C-alpha cells in the first residue's frame, strides 16, 4: 500500500509540472502570440537610443488621477525649486513669485487700503494747522510728560538759535509727510519706508539720557489714533479703523526696532566728543 501511495504522489507531481510548463511553441522567438516590445512600449527606465527607439514618437507624460485629484510628476521638480526660491527670499509672497508690497507687510486688505485713500486726504489737506496735526503732539504731551519736557526744551533751543521753525512744528510736519508717504505707496516695495522708520528710532536713541524710552513711541501711536478717529469715515467703517491700527502698529514697531538696535554713527560720536569736552 505504501508503494501504491508513493506512486500516486509521484504521478500527481509530474502531472502538475506538465500543466505549469507552457507549450514549446510559445517559447519560440518566432511566435506571434505575444506583442513585440515596439508595440508594448519601452521601459520608463530605458534611456532609449537603440534601434527600436529611432523614429519613435515621443510620449507625453500623463497625469495619475486619484480620487478626483490629478498629479503631474513632471511639475514636482519645478514646484520644489519655487519653494526653495521663496524661502531664500522672504520678501516674496507665498502665493506667487512676486515682490511683497508695503500693504502686504502691514497686513491690510485691498478694501482697507481704499478706505485709507478715501479718508486720509481730508485729514492731510488741513495741513499742519488743521485739527489733526495741531493736536497731535499736545496729545502726546498729555499722555507722556517726559515727551512734553523734551519737546519744550527742544523748542527753547530752537528759539535761542533763531531757527525758522520750532521742534514741535517740525515734528508735526514730518509726521504728516510720513503717514502721507505710507498711504500713497502701499503698492510699492516696503524697503525704503522700513529703513526710514528704523533710522528715526536710531536717531532718537541719543535722547535716552533725557528720559526717552520706547514706550514714548506707543504713546505717539495712541495720539495719532485719537486724531484719525475724529474723521467721519473712520468712525463709520470698522475696517477703516482696523486699517489705521495696522498702519500705526507698523510705524511704532519699526521705530522701536531702530531705537533698540541703535548703532553708533560718526555724527553721534562727534556729539559725544563735544559733550566730553564741555564737561
Q: Which residue has the higher pLDDT, 202 or 78?
A: 202
Q: What spatial distance separates the first Cα and last Cα of the chain, rounded to whole Å?
A: 127
pLDDT digits (tens, 9 = 90+) for 177-233: 999 999 999 999 999 999 999 999 999 998 988 889 999 999 999 999 999 999 999
What whole-number percentage of the chain has pLDDT above 70?
A: 56
Extents of the domains making up the chain = 106-271
Give residue 172's pLDDT.
95
In the 8-state DSSP scheme, what is residue 93? -
Under CATH, which architecture does the 106-271 domain have? Orthogonal Bundle (1.10)
Model pTM greater than 0.85? no
Give residue 222's pLDDT.
97
pLDDT digits (tens, 9 = 90+) for 91-131: 555 555 568 999 999 999 999 999 999 999 999 988 888 99
- The residues, any chain, with a CB within 8 Å of residue 50's CB and separated by 6 or more, are none
- The pLDDT of residue 23 is above 50: no
Q: What are phi and psi of 233, to 5 degrees?
A: -65, -35
Q: Which residue has the higher pLDDT, 1 or 90?
A: 1
**b/e burial code for range 121-144 (CB count within 10 A of at least 16 → b):** eebbeeeeebebbbbbbebbbebb
Integer Cα distance of 204 and 147 in angstroms: 12
Give residue 156's pLDDT.
84
**Mean pLDDT for the stretch of residues 21-40:** 46
Of 258, 256, 253, 246, residue with least CA distance to 106: 246
**Mean pLDDT for the stretch of residues 47-62:** 47
Contact 107, 116 (CB under 8 A): no
Q: What are phi and psi of 189, to 5 degrees?
A: -70, 140
pLDDT digits (tens, 9 = 90+) for 245-258: 999 999 999 999 99
> Angle, to 10 degrees, between the axis of helix 238-260 and the axis of helix 215-228?
160
**Mean pLDDT for the stretch of residues 263-277:** 51
Give residue 209's pLDDT.
86
- The pLDDT of residue 166 is above 60: yes
Amino acid at each position: 500500500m505504501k508503494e501504491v501511495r508513493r506512486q500516486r504522489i509521484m504521478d500527481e507531481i509530474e502531472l502538475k509540472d506538465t500543466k505549469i510548463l507552457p507549450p514549446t511553441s510559445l517559447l519560440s522567438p518566432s511566435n506571434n502570440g505575444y506583442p513585440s516590445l515596439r508595440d508594448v512600449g519601452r521601459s520608463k527606465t530605458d534611456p532609449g537610443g537603440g534601434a527600436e527607439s529611432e523614429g519613435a514618437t515621443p510620449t507625453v507624460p500623463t497625469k495619475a488621477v486619484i480620487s478626483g485629484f490629478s498629479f503631474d510628476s513632471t511639475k514636482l521638480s519645478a514646484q520644489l525649486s519655487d519653494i526653495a526660491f521663496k524661502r531664500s527670499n522672504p520678501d516674496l509672497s507665498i502665493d506667487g513669485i512676486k515682490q511683497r508690497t508695503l500693504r502686504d507687510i502691514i497686513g491690510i486688505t485691498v478694501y482697507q487700503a481704499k478706505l485709507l485713500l478715501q479718508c486720509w486726504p481730508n485729514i492731510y489737506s488741513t495741513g499742519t494747522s488743521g485739527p489733526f496735526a495741531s493736536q497731535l503732539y499736545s496729545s502726546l504731551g498729555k499722555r507722556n510728560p517726559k515727551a512734553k519736557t523734551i519737546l519744550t526744551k527742544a523748542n527753547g533751543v530752537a528759539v535761542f538759535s533763531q531757527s525758522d521753525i520750532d521742534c514741535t512744528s517740525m515734528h508735526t510736519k514730518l509726521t504728516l509727510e510720513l503717514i502721507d508717504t505710507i498711504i500713497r505707496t502701499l503698492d510699492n516695495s516696503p524697503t525704503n519706508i522700513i529703513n526710514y522708520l528704523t533710522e528715526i528710532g536710531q536717531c532718537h536713541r541719543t535722547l535716552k539720557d533725557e528720559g526717552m524710552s520706547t514706550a514714548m513711541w506707543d504713546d505717539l501711536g495712541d495720539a495719532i489714533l485719537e486724531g484719525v478717529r475724529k474723521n467721519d469715515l473712520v468712525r463709520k467703517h470698522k475696517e477703516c479703523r482696523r486699517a489705521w491700527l495696522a498702519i500705526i502698529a507698523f510705524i511704532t514697531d519699526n521705530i522701536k526696532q531702530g531705537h533698540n538696535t541703535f548703532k553708533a554713527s560718526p555724527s553721534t560720536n562727534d556729539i559725544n566728543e563735544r559733550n566730553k569736552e564741555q564737561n
